[in-house]
Structure 1
Amino acid sequence: MLDEACARAARARLEKEYLSALESSLSDQRAERVIFDALTCSISLDIMQDPVMACDGHTYERAAIEAWLSANSTSPKTGEVLESTTLIPNHSVRQLIDAFHQAAIDACGADETKAPPRRARTMSKASALYVLLAEATGAHCRSDDVVRELLRGARQHLTKFVPELQNNLLEQAQVNSQVGLGHAFSRCKVKAPS
């Protein structure tokens, strides 16, 4: 529910921001700059290929924000703590990016080699892993926000667990792994069936 409310607030904020910027009496050049900035990731500073919206209401390139969130729990733009690490695909920005690329191709005539390069959409590592596991086992994997949060929590605690195993501190490793998994479960709000 928090993620849905966060997404609604972020979408409303974006719509208001973009509409007010475009409706104001901006020169054509300024309007083009606003639109171009909306297509650019503030982390990587590249035109986005897979735009996603974070809980802070800003849109980022998926790979860039995932890398950021693996090391930080704050917004890269505002510095405020993010209430959720859920990333929502931003289809509106993706459509704008597609239109931008098409306009660039049209402006260059039929010669697409003069147009700005566009990377082909590729499967993410997680998607590729999902396909491999499904093909190898015949079972489908669950991949949603709960699982992502659980894995994120487990990864954070794995950095303590492995050195303890390597140093034969088995009891300490067992306790820390249980605490780590418990923390990961609580972060993803998994509730036991009653």
Structure 2
Amino acid sequence: MAMHLLYESSSGYGLFEAHGLDEIGQNTEAVRSSVSDLSRFGRVVKLTAFIPFASALDALNQVNAVSEGVMTDELRSFLELNLPKVKEGKKPKFSLGLAEPKLGSHIFEATKIPCQSNEFVLELLRGVRQHFDRFIKDLKTGDLEKSQLGLAHSYSRAKVKFNVNRVDNMVIQAIFLLDTFDKDINTFAMRVREWYSWHFPELVKIVNDNYLYARVAKMIDDKSKLTEDHIPMLTDVLGDEDKAKEVVEAGKASMGQELDPIDLFNVQTFAQKVMDLADYRKRLYDYLVSKMGDIAPNLAALIGDMVGARLISHAGSLTNLAKCPSSTLQILGAEKALFRALKTRGNTPKYGLIFHSSFIGRASAKNKGRVARYLANKCSIASRIDCFADGATTAFGEKLREQVEERLDFYDKGVAPRKNVDVMKEVIESLQNKDEAMDVENGLDGSVSVILFSCYNKFTSPTITRESNVEVF
């Protein structure tokens, strides 16, 4: 059976015919030993057709299609033009060898050309790649390397390209950094307490807050220099004049040991570092809140910025979170407990990361599971609205939060909550009225506003508003 080889280079598609394979043997080792010898390999593999890419953009589109296992129209016409015809009802007398099995499956489904991708074919293609510049006579020295470099840069740039309006990766990195800062600041603050307590041990009982302790330690420096003049400054830091007086009195009667100026300087320097980390942590939290307002405003309005960011981070992206059913979202973060319960046939966990929401804490012990299920249901809706809606608004998240509040009242007092379909219609109508009013102010007829909110209509379908454990679009 004749064998043809498809080679996807950076400059175009090449089709080769492998004949006389008996000379090198139908085994991988024989091919591997013959690849380096061009005179021997060139007698077995010969170029039959070559089609260059029209432009750099065309090359990028073609290599993207190959990586995804999709046959483009250009590749199909190239193969059908240069390969023998496949007659219906008859077994082909040739096969096409290529490096991508997924692409071979697509080619076979579309054209019925038999394809194969195995170690033997890969060794033949390795020889083609090694001597490709010798097969194409019109290529100049360095042309192939330039095209490979340019295509590699374009391909890599296209893979990391993202939408600046939905940069959920920034939220993921910010929440990771916040968690790291919380651990580091706590560790460093405890080190400041232990270090400065050798000099002023009584201060630990007076000032409990780590950040305030670092500021006070930085301000006091040497306890022996504490006087009544320091009370106004300490009052500004602690916010309590009685505590400031207590610090001054404790400093006068302190049992701590004296420290050298160089030791106090190092303590002060380290305390300043802790203060700087705490200040940056506050700025990072404000940044996270602003990013959540841009990326997932409804999810943030429903469950909070920190919990929403942790859900997005654990799912991997906002899109992945939107694809999760509410039953999966409910136990995100409790995978170990879930698999342990399945293995031991015990009780499965009722909640994961959403346990940190205030709604779970406010619910009674017997209703925590039901509130978690209902809250996961609403979080699933909010994440899908944030992911797939065209406009950014917190209206849906605020109404979903009201629904959770109503459900808590229903469990505690028996007050019947509103239905989800009615709440969604109310939000859509308010948004449409608001947009129409803005169009009137801008001199428009208001008919354009309907297009902006067309994507919201799908959230009123019965499959979305069903108060079930799994929601499907």
Q: Provide TM-score, normalisation by structure 2.
A: 0.16
- The structure whose residues are more often helix, as a share, is 2
Q: Provide TM-score, normalisation by structure 1.
A: 0.32
Higher relative CO (Cα under 8 Å, sequence separation at least 6) belongs to 1
